[in-house]
Amino acid sequence: MAMNRPNILIADDQRDVREALRLLLKSEGWGCTAVESPAQALAAARERQFDVALIDLNYTRDTTSGAEGMELLAELKAFDADLPVVVMTAWGSIQVAVEAMRHGAGDFIEKPWDNARLMSVLGNQHALARARRRGQRLQAENRLLRGPAAEGFIAESASMRSLLERLARVAPSDANVLILGENGTGKGVIARLLHDASKRAEASFVKVNMGGIPETVFEAEMFGHVRGAFTDAKTDRIGRFELADGGSLFLDEIANIPLAQQPKLLRVLEDGELERVGSSRTLKVDVRLISATNADLAAEVAGGTFRKDLLFRLNTVELHLPPLRERGEDIPLLAQSFLQRFAQRYQRDDLRFAPSALNAMSAYAWPGNVRELAHSIERAVLMAAAGALDASALNLNADSVAVGAGAMGAVPAVGQVTVEEAEKRMVRQALEKTGGNIQRAANLLGLSRPALYRRMEKYGIE
pLDDT profile of the chain (462 residues), mean per 10: 73 92 92 93 88 89 77 88 88 73 88 91 88 66 41 78 87 93 91 90 90 84 80 79 93 91 91 86 91 91 93 93 92 92 88 89 90 92 86 75 41 49 78 75 73 77 74
Element (H, E) at 352: strand 352-353
CA distance 148 to 197: 15
Element (H, E) at 206: strand 205-209
For the beta carbon of residue 383, count every other beta carbon within 10 angstroms: 10
Query: Is the bond leading into 322 cis (omega within 30 degrees of zero)?
Result: no
Model-level pTM? 0.60
* Domains defined for the chain, CATH in brackets: 7-142 (3.40.50.2300), 158-322 (3.40.50.300), 325-459 (1.10.8.60)
Residue 52 confidence (pLDDT) = 94
Residue 439 confidence (pLDDT) = 75
Residue 31 confidence (pLDDT) = 92
CA distance 427 to 299: 40
**Which residues, 6+ apart, have CB-to-CB distance to 433 below 8 Å?**
409, 441, 444
Residue 60 confidence (pLDDT) = 75
